[in-house]
Structure 1
Amino acid sequence: MARAQGARSQLAAAFETIYGTAPPSGYTRLPFAASSLSAEQPLLASELLGYGRDPLAPVKDVLSAGGDLTVPIDAEAFAFWLKAAFGDPTTTGTSPGPYTHEFRSGAWTLSSMAIETALPEVPRYAMYSGVMLNQLSWTMQRSGLLTATASLVAQGETVATSTQVGTPADLDLLRFGHFNGSVERNGVALGNVVSAQISYSNNLDLIETIRADGRIEGADPSIAALTGSIDVRFADMTLVTQAINGAACELEFAYALPTGEALTVTAHAVYLPRPRIEIAGPQGVQASFDWQAARDPVTGRMATVTLINHIASY
């Protein structure tokens, strides 16, 4: 008897034309490291009396679908999650490439996705439609595997015994590593950075209307947020002075491969809180800044994400 194994699992995704309607074709197989994407429907215990001490049958509560995907930050597949987070990119370049895909924060309309997770040996093929990205976050550090967490909200789940996506297209896996990363402040390399955390959230507002199928009606993006933290070895007063003055700076988090592929996340107006500076012992002193980004009056937006690769369009 075959048993489900994560090593044999697969994930394919496509963008929807109509929210909640999975397209019949056009899927791409995407790499992932872990998934909690699933649907659940809890039971409500009966409160009725008059039938003895043994309870009556429970009733079903509302259906909810969603979860987190752990995905690699790479030069091709990661664009799917950027498009889900920021909307359609502006793409420039000519064949055979490279192409520059520019994603901008503040889009009023975001694309929904259909995602199928597959466990072929069971077999179980779960199709999630109306998938919206609520939050995309990751950590920059010196070593380890570079992955991001995509927090998703779905309208519903349909389970079948065979795939519903046909034969998905494949992409080249051109993965960035932590050693490919850099951090700049106002165009100058920011030294003494131990780690940095970046999180972009669409703060989705779930439309929970009364429906016979128990699903949500949709998910609307509200005020976006770009936040994070920077841990630095305390070597100068640059960041502390900025925090005290209440001024904004531009932070750029970037990755680049020797073959030319690159990913750059630019937060145009970043504000820093005044941190605690503690001397915990004989080791080096570190300071942590929990930063927040805001709309920059010059660029007219909060953030720009630029991805350079050889894919013509997404």
Structure 2
Amino acid sequence: MARAQGARAQMALAFESVYGTPPAADSYWRMPFASSSLGSEQPLLNSELLGYGRDPLPPVRDAITADGDVSVPIDLRFLGIWLKALFGAPTTTGSVAPFTHEFQSGSWTLPSMAIEIGMADVPHYAMNVGCVANSISWTMQRSGLVTATVNVIARGEITGAASSAGTLTGLELQRFGAFNGSVSRDGSQLGSIVSGEITYSNNLDRIETIRSDGMIDGADPSVAALTGSINVRFADTVLLDQAIAGDPCELSFAYEIDADRRFELKAHAVYLPKARLPLEGPGGVQATFEWQAALDTITGRMATATLINDQETYDNP
């Protein structure tokens, strides 16, 4: 009897043209991922009824919830698929490689996806339909693997013993390394950064109407948020002065292999709180700034994500 193993699992993803309706077979990307909790669950409600002795009556099934987190690499090509899910379709420039894909925050319409998690050993294939990307978060540091966590809210899950995705289309995987990372403030490299955390959220609102199939009607984007923190060795008062003054700055978080292979998330108007400077021993002093981004009146948006690579389009294969 075969037992399911994560090493043999696969993830297929395609953008839906109709919310909640998976595309036809052979139009899916084969996606790299480190872990996934995406799927549906249906809890049981304990019976509250009395009069039948000490042994409880059978439980009642509650509403179905379909969502989860997917851990994905921050890479040169596949990242664009997740950015499209988070921000909407990009504006792509360039007639030949390299192509520049620019994703802008603020869109009221986000594409939905069909994501199938397959385990061929059992076999078990779970097609999550109506998937909308809720948030992405990752940590920047000096070393280690560069991965992001994408939170997804799905309409529902359809399971079967065979894949509905057909033949998958892959891309060449080229990951960014931690040493490729940089943090800039107003266009200049920001020194003494020990680590940083970035979270972009669409703050999706589940439309939980009464339905016989247990699925939701949709997940609508609300007011977005771009927040995070930077842990800084205290060497100057630039950030502290800005926090006290209450003025915004532009923060850029980037990974670059070369000019033709680059990813950058730019927060156009970032506000810093005044941070305390704890002394925790004879070593260096570090300060943590929990920053928040807001609408920038000059650019007309909060954030811009730019991915430069050799991928011409992010339409379904």
- 1:246-272, CA deviations, whole angstroms, 9 ceiling, x for partnerless residues? 000000111111472100110000000
CA spacing shift, 1:209–1:55, aligned 2, 3 Å: same
The one-letter code of the counterpart of 1:27 is: Y
> Counterpart in 1 of 2:111?
111
The question of 1:164 aligning with 2:164 is answered yes
- 1:121-169, CA deviations, whole angstroms, 9 ceiling, x for partnerless residues? 1111110000011110000000000000001111111111111000010
Aligned pairs (5 A) from 1:1-314: 1-25=1-25, 26-95=27-96, 97-258=97-258, 260-314=260-314
The Cα shift of 1:24 comes to 1.1
Cα distance in 2 between the residues matched to 1:43 and 1:184: 50
User: Any idea what SS the aligned residue of 1:276 has?
Assistant: coil
Cα distance in 2 between the residues matched to 1:20 and 1:134: 16
Report sequence identity in percent: 61
Cα distance in 1 between the residues matched to 2:151 and 2:108: 19
Q: CA RMSD in A?
A: 0.8
The one-letter code of the counterpart of 1:210 is: I
Tell me which stretches of 4 or more aligned residues in structure 1 moved more than 3 Å: none
The one-letter code of the counterpart of 1:204 is: L
Cα distance in 2 between the residues matched to 1:262 and 1:304: 14
Cα distance in 2 between the residues matched to 1:259 and 1:117: 35
Matched pairs, number: 313
User: Any idea what SS the aligned residue of 1:21 has?
Assistant: coil
The one-letter code of the counterpart of 2:246 is: G
User: Any idea what SS the aligned residue of 1:83 has?
Assistant: helix
The one-letter code of the counterpart of 1:30 is: M
Cα distance in 1 between the residues matched to 2:217 and 2:3: 35
Q: Which deviates further from its counterpart, 17-26 or 282-291? A: 17-26
The one-letter code of the counterpart of 2:62 is: D
User: Any idea what SS the aligned residue of 1:239 has?
Assistant: helix
User: Any idea what SS the aligned residue of 2:136 has?
Assistant: strand
Cα distance in 2 between the residues matched to 1:177 and 1:260: 16
User: Any idea what SS the aligned residue of 1:275 has?
Assistant: coil
Report the TM-score when normalising by structure 2. 0.97
Cα distance in 2 between the residues matched to 1:30 and 1:93: 25
The Cα shift of 1:59 comes to 1.0
- 1:89-111, CA deviations, whole angstroms, 9 ceiling, x for partnerless residues? 0001113x111000000001000
Cα distance in 2 between the residues matched to 1:168 and 1:14: 10
The one-letter code of the counterpart of 1:183 is: V
User: Any idea what SS the aligned residue of 1:279 has?
Assistant: coil
- 1:205-241, CA deviations, whole angstroms, 9 ceiling, x for partnerless residues? 0001000011111000000000000001000000000
The Cα shift of 1:53 comes to 2.1
Cα distance in 2 between the residues matched to 1:36 and 1:210: 25
The one-letter code of the counterpart of 2:80 is: A
Cα distance in 2 between the residues matched to 1:90 and 1:99: 10
Report the TM-score when normalising by structure 1. 0.98
Cα distance in 2 between the residues matched to 1:263 and 1:186: 17
- 1:256-298, CA deviations, whole angstroms, 9 ceiling, x for partnerless residues? 1147210011000000000011111100000000000000000
The one-letter code of the counterpart of 2:110 is: L
Q: What 5-or-longer segments of structure 1 have no aligned partner?
A: none
Cα distance in 2 between the residues matched to 1:91 and 1:211: 40
The one-letter code of the counterpart of 2:168 is: P
Q: What 5-or-longer segments of structure 2 have no aligned partner?
A: none
